[in-house]
Amino acid sequence: MRGITRRVALVVMLASVMVPTIARAQDATPVAAGEVILATTTSTADSGLLDALAPLFLAETGLTLKPIAVGSGAALEMGEKGEADVLLVHSPAAEEEFMANGFGTDRKTVMYNDFVIVGPEDDPAKIADAPDAAAAMAAIAAAGSPFVSRGDDSGTHNLEKKLWKAASITPDGAWYVESGSGMADTLRIANEQQAYTISDRGTWLAQGDAIDLPILFEGGKALQNIYHVILLNPENGERINSEAGAAFMAFLLEPETQQVIAEFGVEEFGQPLFTPCAEDSCFAPATPEATPAA
Amino acid sequence: MSEIVQGIGEAWQLLISGDPEVWSIAWLSLRVSLSATLIALLIGVPIGTVIALHEHPGKTAVVGAVHAGMALPPVVAGLVVSILLWRSGPLGQWGLLYTPSAMVIAQAVIATPIVTGLTYAAVSGLDPRYRLQLAALGASGPATAWALLREAHVALIAAVVAGFGAVISEVGAAMMVGGNIKGQTRVLTTATVLEVNRGHFATAIALSTILLILVYAVTLGLTIVQRRR
């Protein structure tokens, strides 16, 4: 019988671990009350910004932030289906279509950073001399130099497609590789193959010494990476918590949060990862437009 | 290469310094995976036993389905559970998505076929004469099953180890239904992916090392139970 005693003891041990998990889950069941589901992009989550903002948001509003990091395409899809309360995305053309279709009730600029074109040190396609981003892409295609695309309908992928379109090129051939992965993975694949790719600056900075792909082209309006917060239309899903979503939107735009965004990343990377820009404040007419790198 | 050495050093430091975040992540990993394994046991052992003890024409197809379930990709389990738990899904009113409970459900879906299949194998592998003997002694159905399971306990503990190992190490479903939310649903595997994406390779190795230590501790406990009768 000792065997049975021991087995019973094991089950009791397992149950003592399991019961609190289930009990805790039940505590959290009131769906909308204390939390806000934010569908967002991998770049905001991977940078650690949302982990930094969540406790501030909780302290200020008593709401628990649940950031779900997917590509911008998937985040907009979640918004359409009412699977989130608020979005933080960076895919302007897709966002405008989303708003035009009535899926969102409000959309505001939060912050921006920029995309950079990185590639092998010796720059075989000579993109550093290109006059603009589309010309840089055209040079890569003309040289047939390897290029790694996200290929995942993310904000970065959409920007890349826009640049190909501007250069009147349909990327195709052995030189054009689709990773189907997030930004960090795509950078590492490009690094292994010593290929060109487009990255948001934050993710590129975060890779540090792990990759050997310098920035070869930067600057210009075409490479601006603007993040918008979108409040969802409660008509698209009965469980959308618009109140909590609006609280998060207000939180992102208030001066204290904008200051946190401005300082985020300085400690680790020696430079900020995002420039705050509540409601387009940074795009005032006086702001000189960034010029392409020479 | 230096990242691995540095990472193991960092793991050691995180463990002795008692970093509260790492401990809570490790504790959540353990809680979620043990809960899922227990559910898989409660479902898989009876089903596996029943399949093993009953002969019928469709048996091969049933066992084949269980075996196919053992190869269910975690990301598929995660996707199906997500769709069921979506706000717009059939179980949306429970509000379980992006909670540890959702992770337990998805992992139980992954572990149950594994436990079922290995229980079937364990019970089928017993000497048939033992069963005949039990029948001759007039043992009832449940009593027979219980005696057979006791006889097969070494293989059954192996089923528990396989189920637990499959779920504590998976990342696809945990990421999809949990969302890797800091302080709520971040477990060792999803935290490792995040640290890799952040370029913190040594921290990722540290978390992996802690995961391996945890897995060793649990499987060692199960092995002790397995080896003593």
**Does A72 share its domain with A140?**
no
Q: Which residues of A touch B97 (CB under 8 A)?
A: 83
A294 inside domain: no
With beta carbons less than 8 A apart as the criterion, state whether B149 and B45 touch. Answer: yes
Report chain A's mean pLDDT, rounded to a whole number. Answer: 86
**Does A256 share its domain with A202?**
no
Query: Among residues A185, A208, A223, which one ends one of the domains?
Result: A223
Cα–Cα distance for residue pair B213/B14, rounded to 1 Å: 13
pLDDT grade for A223, boundaries at 50, 70 and 90: very high
A4 inside domain: no
Among the partner-chain residues A81, A184, A238, the one whose CB lies closest to the CB of B199 is A184
Q: Which residues of A touch B184 (CB under 8 A)?
A: 64, 66
**Does A184 share its domain with A242?**
no
Contact A25 B99 (CB under 8 A): yes
What is the pLDDT at residue A287? Answer: 43
- The domain tally of chain A equals 2
Span A110-120, pLDDT tens digits:
999 999 999 99
A293 inside domain: no
A41 inside domain: yes
pLDDT grade for A32, boundaries at 50, 70 and 90: very low
Whether residue A286 is predicted with pLDDT greater than 80 in this model: the reply is no
Mean pLDDT of B24-43: 97
**Does A171 share its domain with A213?**
yes
What is the pLDDT at residue A170? Answer: 94
Span B179-203, pLDDT tens digits:
999 989 999 999 999 988 888 888 8
What is the pLDDT at residue A162? Answer: 95
**Does A118 share its domain with A246?**
no
A290 inside domain: no
pTM of the predicted model as reported, rounded to 2 decimal places: 0.82
A291 inside domain: no
Contact A82 B88 (CB under 8 A): yes
* Phi, psi angle pair for B146, to nearest 5°: -60, -45
What is the pLDDT at residue A181? Answer: 85
**Residue keyed to tokens 């003592």:** A16
A288 inside domain: no
Kindly report which listed range (A9-13, B24-28, B171-175, B222-226) carries the lowest average pLDDT score.
A9-13
pLDDT grade for A64, boundaries at 50, 70 and 90: very high
Cα–Cα distance for residue pair B99/B90, rounded to 1 Å: 17
Collapse the DSSP code of B226 into the 3-class scheme (helix H, G, I; strand E, B; otherwise coil) and give the result: helix
Contact A46 B182 (CB under 8 A): no
**Does A78 share its domain with A177?**
no
In a mutational test of the A interface, the residue from B37, B87, B201 whose CB has the highest number of chain A CBs within 10 Å is B87
Mean pLDDT of A151-176: 93
- Which domains, and CATH codes, for chain B? 2-227 (1.10.3720.10)
**Does A143 share its domain with A233?**
no
Whether residue A294 is predicted with pLDDT greater than 50 in this model: the reply is no
Q: Which residues of B touch A267 (CB under 8 A)?
A: none
**Does A89 share its domain with A231?**
yes
Query: Among residues A223, A252, A273, which one ends one of the domains?
Result: A223
pLDDT grade for A220, boundaries at 50, 70 and 90: confident
With beta carbons less than 8 A apart as the criterion, state whether B86 and B97 touch. Answer: yes
**Does A66 share its domain with A207?**
no
**Does A216 share its domain with A123?**
yes
Residue A151 sits in a domain whose CATH number is 3.40.190.10
What is the pLDDT at residue B199? Answer: 82
Question: What ipTM did this prediction achieve?
Answer: 0.77
Please give the distance of CA B142 from its chain centroid, rounded to a whole number: 26
Mean pLDDT of B63-82: 96
Listed in sequence order, the DSSP H helices in chain B are: 2-17, 20-53, 59-70, 74-85, 100-124, 128-136, 141-151, 153-168, 172-173, 188-197, 201-227
Dihedral sign, Cα of residue A58, residue A61, residue A67, residue A72: negative
pLDDT grade for A63, boundaries at 50, 70 and 90: very high
**Residue keyed to tokens 């057979």:** B148
Span B38-71, pLDDT tens digits:
999 999 999 999 999 999 999 999 999 999 999 9
With beta carbons less than 8 A apart as the criterion, state whether A216 and A125 touch. Answer: no
Among the partner-chain residues A6, A21, A46, the one whose CB lies closest to the CB of B104 is A21
DSSP state of A196: B
State the residue range of the domain holding A264: 35-112+225-283
Cβ-based burial of B6 (10 A; exposed 0-12, middle 13-18, buried ≥19):
middle
Q: Which residues of A touch B92 (CB under 8 A)?
A: 239
Whether residue A144 is predicted with pLDDT greater than 70 in this model: the reply is yes
Angle between helices A2-27 and B201-227 (to 10 degrees): 140
Span B94-112, pLDDT tens digits:
889 999 999 999 999 999 9
**Does A104 share its domain with A242?**
yes
**Does A93 share its domain with A104?**
yes
Cα distance from A142 to chain B (closest Cα, Å)? Answer: 31
A246 inside domain: yes
Query: Among residues A208, A223, A238, which one ends one of the domains?
Result: A223
Pairing between β-strand A35-40 and β-strand A86-89 as defined by DSSP bridges: parallel
Contact B199 A30 (CB under 8 A): no
Please give the distance of CA A113 from its chain centroid, rounded to a whole number: 11
Q: How many CB pairs under 8 A join A and B?
A: 108
